[in-house]
Amino acid sequence: MYALAAFLMTCCGSLDQPRVAETLEGTLKFDPRLEGGVWMIRHEGKTYDLHRMPQGFREGVQVEITGQSLREVCCIHMVGIVFEVRTIRKRR
């Protein structure tokens, strides 16, 4: 039990740090095999694990996303840096 608590403290860190808005651009990808499905995007050579994705988007769409990286947050699938989506729009 103590090992689990130590892991969570190390992995999740402090959630009290100030957040800086970021913008990601790329193609949406979806993998239905991971934890009921996971949305992701590649931006500047990094993969981002998208959280709080609104409905109505489909895989393969070019988008611009604003939100914030939550580098200290862990999740079950962990396909990349956890990114909390604030806004998303299709790119033309």
Average pLDDT, the chain: 82
**What CATH number did the domain enclosing 35 receive?**
2.40.50.430
pTM comes to: 0.75
The per-residue b/e assignment along 43-76, b for 16 or more CB within 10 angstroms, e otherwise, is beeeebbbeebeeebeeeeebebebebbeebeee
Q: Structural domain tally of the chain?
A: 1
- pLDDT attached to residue 16: 56
Query: If you average pLDDT over residues 10-35, what whole number do you get?
Result: 77
pLDDT tens digits along 2-13: 444 334 444 444
pLDDT value at 89 more than 50: yes
- pLDDT attached to residue 34: 82
Q: Residue 73's domain spans which residues?
A: 2-90
Secondary structure of residue 21 in the 3-state scheme? coil
